[in-house]
């Protein structure tokens, strides 16, 4: 998923809500302002997290939680495939599920990253 202006501004504003460290915010703004058109949201978040770690140290490790949720969704794979195959428009159903996954991922990132739930 390519990053939109709206998503870029949200990412910057979330950082701004967490800190007033201007040097850090300037680096985040530089990443967002100089991103390539082909850069994806996960890539931009990776770059921001690297800068964040330099300024504030390592953040929480979500690997275990991520694996737990990945396993949960993988357990739903057969049912989701079936739903797509039997849909009136299988392509539209698949695209809708992909969008839902992206939105959930973005919301979870924002919630974890800011230590608040915004869902």
**Residues of the chain with pLDDT > 90: what percent?**
52
Residue 5 has pLDDT above 50, yes or no: yes
Report how far apart, in Å, the C-alpha atoms of 60 and of each of 63, 86, 98 are: 9, 41, 27
Residue 41 has pLDDT above 80, yes or no: yes
Of 26-30, 33-37, 50-54, 95-99, least confident by mean pLDDT is 95-99
* Residue 6 phi, psi (nearest 5): -60, -45
Distance CA 23, CA 38 (A): 26
**pLDDT for position 21:** 97
Distance CA 52, CA 71 (A): 28
Residue 2, beta-bridge partner list: 40
Distance CA 89, CA 94 (A): 9
Spatial contact of 11 and 45, defined as CB atoms under 8 Å apart: yes
């Amino acid at each position: 998923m390519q990053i939109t202006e709206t998503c870029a501004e949200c990412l910057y504003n979330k950082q701004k809500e967490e800190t007033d460290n201007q040097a850090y915010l300037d680096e985040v703004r530089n990443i967002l302002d100089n991103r390539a058109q082909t850069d994806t949201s996960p890539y931009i978040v990776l770059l921001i997290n690297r800068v964040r770690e330099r300024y504030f140290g390592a953040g929480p490790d979500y690997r275990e939680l991520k694996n737990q949720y990945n396993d949960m969704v993988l357990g739903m794979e057969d049912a989701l495939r079936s739903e797509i195959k039997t849909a009136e428009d299988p392509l539209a159903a698949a695209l809708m599920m992909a969008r839902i996954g992206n939105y959930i991922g973005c919301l979870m990132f924002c919630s974890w990253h800011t230590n608040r739930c915004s869902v």
